[in-house]
Amino acid sequence: MADDGVLGEKTIWADMGVISGTHVKHLPDLVGRGNLAPELARRIDDLSLKGGSLWVANMVVNELPQLTLAPELNQPGTELTVTVLNADTPQLLELMRDVHTFRTHPTDPDHFAGLWIICQDVRDQTRVRPDGRHVLYFNVQVPAPEEHRDGPLAVNQARDEIVENCKAVVRKYAPNMTDDKYVEVFVNSPYDSSIRNMGFVGGQWMGLRESENEWGVNKPLPELARYRTPIDGLYLCHQTSHPGGLCLIAVPYNLMHILHEDYPEISATTPDWWYPSPWHITDEQGGTA
């Protein structure tokens, strides 16, 4: 397809195609703006690359959380690598209200919804010094710096408060995690990321800002939320697609469910190593809505 390609014909004839590794903001020019509704092309152009919305902390601890709700996971060899706390719907809605309506970071521990705790060194000791310590990796949703009602440095100035709230949430589910269990704390705010991570688009790992109409399953836009584009048979698979960020296998894994729905021949030829998620909601079950 390159201008110096050996083929004279620059057309690909296919029933289906997946665009991968291409930022959503390139989509209008890649497919031709005449193939998209002008309003959708404008909204893609308006997607902001300024400022991420994920506050990150790595906390060195000398003991792993002992979850009271799942004591069977407190035994050696059964520890969870990833735990999500405060993840019920009312708490998630309260977090969305804080971030998008009040335009502030959560200040009530009960509003620290969907708090991710990742402990990768449980399975890979090369990620931590061999002295019996572990690293707990936290993610908290906050406003992008430019959108915070108290200014772009507000989250940085609330660093210690946010750290203490994270500890309080963990202590609620794992009472053993008292202050003496935390050895060191390293924080990376969205503002910090915009300065440090110049190799990332927009300086942050999500690929674009998460604003209210692009939250969660609406990422990157509701019209593109299930990886389909307005062009029949063309799909977008990128870190800007749901769930977004990093180089998550979840993006192509989710896309496979959509291709299964749209193409019976794909369902008939799927390799044995791929299996559908029991939590996937099909279009017939209301997934698009």
Q: Which CA distances in Å does 165 have to 18, 101, 104, 169?
A: 42, 21, 15, 6
Burial class (CB in 10 A: 0-12, 13-18, 19+), 262: middle
The reported pLDDT for the residue numbered 256 is: 92
The proportion of the chain whose per-residue pLDDT surpasses 90, expressed as a percent, equals 39
Identify the band that residue 125 occupies on the pLDDT scale cut at 50, 70 and 90: confident
pLDDT at 36 over 80: yes
Integer Cα distance of 214 and 199 in angstroms:
23
pTM of the model: 0.75
What's the mean per-residue pLDDT of the chain? Answer: 86
> For residue range 61-79, what is the model confidence (pLDDT) as tens digits?
998 899 898 888 777 777 7
The two three-digit tokens of residue 235, written as one number = 């799909």
**Least confidently predicted of 82-96, 124-138, 268-282:** 124-138
Q: Report, as an integer, the average pLDDT of 247-252.
A: 82
pLDDT at 216 over 80: no
Which amino acid belongs to residue 115?
A: L
The reported pLDDT for the residue numbered 4 is: 64
Q: Report, as an integer, the average pLDDT of 31-45.
A: 93
Q: What is the DSSP string of the chain?
A: --TT-S-S------S-EEEES--GGGHHHHH-GGGS-HHHHHHHHH---S---EEEEEEEESS----TT-GGGGSTT---SEEEES-SHHHHHHHHIIIIIS-S---SGGG-TTEEEE-GGGT-GGGS-TTT-EEEEEEEE---GGG-TT-TTHHHHTHHHHHHHHHHHHHHH-TT--GGGEEEEEEE-HHHHHHH-TTSGGGSTTSS---GGGSGGG-S-GGGTTSB-SSTTEEEESTTSTT-STT-THHHHHHHHHHHHH-HHHHHH--TT----TT---TTTTS--
The reported pLDDT for the residue numbered 160 is: 97
Maximum average pLDDT range among 84-98, 109-123, 127-141:
84-98
The reported pLDDT for the residue numbered 289 is: 64
**Least confidently predicted of 32-41, 214-223, 249-258, 273-282:** 214-223
Domain ranges (residues) in the chain? 17-48+221-269, 54-196
**Least confidently predicted of 66-80, 103-117, 184-198:** 66-80
146 with 50: CB under 8 angstroms? yes
Integer Cα distance of 204 and 275 in angstroms:
31
Residue with tokens 């299930």: 226
Q: Report, as an integer, the average pLDDT of 15-38.
A: 91
